[in-house]
Amino acid sequence: MKHRFVHYGWIILAMGVLIIAASLGLDRYGYAAILPAMQKGLHLSDAQVGVIGSANVLGYLIAAMVAGLMAFRFGPRLIITLSLIWMALGMVLLSFVNSFTLLAFLRFLTGIAGAGGYISMVGLLSSWFSQCRRGLANGILVGGSGIAIAVTGWFVPEINRLYPINGWRYNWFILGVAIGILGVLTLIMLRNSPEDKGLTPIGSNGEVFMPTKESNKKFIIKDIISLGEMRMLLLAYFCFGMSYVIYGTFFLNYLVTEKGITEALAGNIWSTAGILSIASAIVWGSLSDLIGRRLVLTSIFTLHAVSYSLAAVAGINDTLLLWISAIVFGLVAWSVPAVVASYCADIVGPKHTAAAMGIVTIFFGVGQVLGPVSAGLIKEFSNSYVGAFVLAAILALLGALTPVLFRTGEKQRSKESDLLESSKGTLP
């Protein structure tokens, strides 16, 4: 007789959504929502705001270099828990900041924590879902960022309205406490693999789950980079990192400071994008399971380019175009990370997904470091973010072309992966 129960993988996924909401959403987009009030309260220049944004993603980039390997060695559960506690402390301290230098330093530290939580969680999830369900699972996972945008887009302006002077400080403190509580829950609820619960991965059709035997040989990162489709993902993820961080960091500020939109209405526009983005990665991730990752990546990047272009061409009274820009962004917002995470797992297998994600995230992080600084400088010299959104659109179009520039197919990938497995003995 078959017992009916909820597979623990779905509980892992639910926790993962909250972890991504904290690691990426609350850290990065909480900052975007808090930024207008904080910039005003601390009298920060546009260039300083750009530096602060880049400090955060620089921390993310540095951590991305080692987060995957740390998760491989010590287990993702431990790394995720430590990352969330680290981030919580950093955000609580942000609520007491009065110095630009200290603010940038703390944002640097929370960026480190964000990479540790995100990359480790993606690697952990790939062990709980088989290849035919990974797009769906990763789509649901990265939707956590959309939840964070929706919540902060409503919550942050409301706190600022109630406390006009110190509202931004209270926001950082509240977010920090919430993430600290999540860190404790993570330690209690997460498990590193289905084997820990005597289960098989979801979608494995009842096949016995056999964990990959560890090799005594050293794991060589350059062998993963040598794979053709990994090189495609490196360029695509760089384009995504630099383009989306420009839009995600400065769009809300653009609405308030350049378009004369009230903070409440701007928050509503941004919250709408956040709500739509929750389902975006699920839809596109599932679609990539059905029609292939490459075609889906091209489609997603094209829509990103449309969103950024609409923001750039909108006039003072073109509120409708700004709404459309936000809606289009929301429809595809987190789909690139979902597809890239699934793609990495397809190429190297679940055991080394965190390491592969760490590699592509380095390029993603470089883009994120360059994005805010570039946007801040453009704003400083042109007195507008329009040029920054044009740059983001160009990068998105380049991302759309990457599957054409790198034509490595499924058969070639299989051949390369088999070669890598036989030579190193580490890949599943």
- Structure tokens of 59? 């921390």
Q: Computed from CA positions of residues 77, 78, 79, 84, in that sequence, does the dihedral angle turn out positive or negative?
A: positive
- Give the pair of three-digit tokens for residue 39: 């910039």
pLDDT at residue number 35: 87
- Whether 202 is covered by a domain: the verdict is no
- CA pair distance 410, 267, nearest whole angstrom: 43
- Report whether pLDDT(167) > 50: yes
Which residues are registered as beta bridge partners of 129?
202
Q: Which residues pair with 237 in a beta bridge?
A: none
Q: What CA–CA distance (Å, rounded) separates 179 from 314?
A: 36
The CATH number of the domain holding residue 416 is 1.20.1250.20
What does the DSSP 8-state code read for residue 196?
A: G
What are 285's two structure tokens? 């991730």
Q: Which long-range contacts (C-beta less than 8 Å, at least 24 apart) are formed by 203-207? A: 203/129, 203/130, 203/131, 203/132, 203/133, 204/130, 205/130
pLDDT confidence bin for 321, thresholds 50/70/90: very high
Q: Is residue 210 part of a domain?
A: no
Q: Report if residue 410 sits inside a domain.
A: yes
Q: Which residue has the higher pLDDT, 327 or 349?
A: 327
For residue 210, pLDDT beyond 70: no
- Residue 272: partners with Cβ closer than 8 Å, 6 or more residues away: 323, 326, 327, 330
Residues 375, 378, 383, 385, Cα dihedral to 10°: -40
The whole-number pLDDT of residue 407 equals 62
Q: How many domains does the chain have?
A: 1
Q: Which of 267, 281, 415 is nearest to 338 (CA)?
A: 281
**The pLDDT value given to residue 223:** 65
Residue 422 clears pLDDT 80, i.e. is over it: no
Least confident of 116-130, 159-173, 193-207, 284-298: 193-207
Q: Does any domain span residue 211?
A: no
* pLDDT 10s digits, 80-112: 999 999 999 999 999 999 999 999 999 999 999
Q: pLDDT at position 222, please?
A: 67
Residue 146 forms part of a structural domain: yes
CA geometry: angle 316, 396, 413, nearest 5 deg? 165
Choice among 97-106, 353-362, 394-403 with the minimum mean pLDDT: 353-362
Answer yes or no: is 420 within a domain. Answer: yes
249-277 pLDDT, tens digit each: 889 889 988 988 888 888 889 888 888 88
Q: Tell me, what's the pLDDT at 209? A: 39
Domain extent for 229: 8-197+221-424
Q: Give the residue with greater pLDDT, 231 vs 258.
A: 258
Q: Which of the listed ranges 30-39, 224-233, 378-387 does the model predict with the highest average pLDDT?
A: 378-387
